[in-house]
Amino acid sequence: MKSNIIVIGGTGKTGRKVVQRLHALQHNVRVGSRNEDPAFDWENQATWAQALEGIEKMYVTFQPDLAVPGALEAIEALTKQAGQSGIKKMVLLSRKGEREAELCEQVVIHSGIDYTIVRASWFNQNFSESFFLDPILAGHVALPQADAKVPYIDTDDIADVAVEVLMNEKHNGQIYELTGLRLLTFREVVSEIASVTKRSIEFTPISLSAYSKMLEEFHVPAEYIWLINYLFTEVLGREGNDVITNDVERVLGRKAKDFTAYVQETAATGVWNQAAEMQI
């Protein structure tokens, strides 16, 4: 049966893959974005009712992160609107091991609307579509928490899980924690990417204060630097965040994508080649 589904953040790293998969299954999909008609803008609640009109199910990715000040209030307001709009099912993308995100989850859990919470570990795609791409292209990655071990998860796996839980009622009321198959430090990640792309990419461990200072010098907005600080201390440092789960397999009946497969697929797209060409 076809469903009317909105994907909030439908042009983002996980959302656009969820949109592709739902289209392939021939559902009626509305992309939640500031650039669609009707538009959805987290900063403008007046856009929400129209964006949710006629919608039965929603996949929600918050911007920029459920830990930022104002996120809880935004999730409370959206959940209220979802109830008023007659939404039957909400799937919230959350972050594994993030206390503030868990407060937002509670709002959805107690909303009276069917829900599934998808808590993800750090994404593989942070190295190819987000904040770690530029240093990789520059051939020099300097990061704090050099020894932290992270079970990176691929956005393909997150999107597959999101679609399965949106479509199948047996996942109602569940919280899934998605991780990849292996723990990797930043140094190991950089080394894998360097090896597959045959590029020289240096890794330098630095302190969090030196990293923040570097971001300031690059004129990164203060709120973003706050978020980075939070992620590198509260999230990377939180006990249990280096635990590998088998929830991808529980939901999908197959293993999560291995990090090496992600590196090989991504290298083949050429996204990491720009600096390599510049080095020649």
Ligand X SMILES: NC(=O)c1ccc[n+]([C@@H]2O[C@H](COP(=O)([O-])OP(=O)(O)OC[C@H]3O[C@@H](n4cnc5c(N)ncnc54)[C@H](OP(=O)(O)O)[C@@H]3O)[C@@H](O)[C@H]2O)c1
By the criterion CB under 6 A, which residues form the site for ligand X?
A: 9-15, 33-35, 40-43, 61-63, 65-66, 93, 95, 120, 122-123, 126, 130
Nearest distance from C-beta of residue 277 to ligand X, angstroms: 26
Of all residues in this chain, which one has the CB nearest to ligand X in the complex?
12
245: Cα separation from own chain's centroid? 17
In terms of CB distance, is 242 or 276 closer to ligand X? 242
Nearest distance from C-beta of residue 9 to ligand X, angstroms: 4
In terms of CB distance, is 2 or 238 closer to ligand X? 238
Question: Sign (positive/negative) of CA torsion 15, 83, 171, 22?
Answer: negative
Nearest distance from C-beta of residue 108 to ligand X, angstroms: 13
In terms of CB distance, is 45 or 200 closer to ligand X? 45
Q: Cα–Cα–Cα angle for 30, 36, 38, nearest 5°?
A: 75
Q: How many angstroms separate the CA atoms of 93 and 100, rounded? A: 13
In terms of CB distance, is 122 or 203 closer to ligand X? 122
Nearest distance from C-beta of residue 280 to ligand X, angstroms: 31
Give the number of other Cβ atoms within 10 Å of residue 278's Cβ.
Answer: 10
Q: What are the Cα distances from residue 265, in Å, to 70, 197, 235, 256, 262? A: 37, 11, 28, 15, 5
Nearest distance from C-beta of residue 1 to ligand X, angstroms: 26
What is the β-pairing status of strands 114-120 and 89-95? parallel
In terms of CB distance, is 87 or 101 closer to ligand X? 101
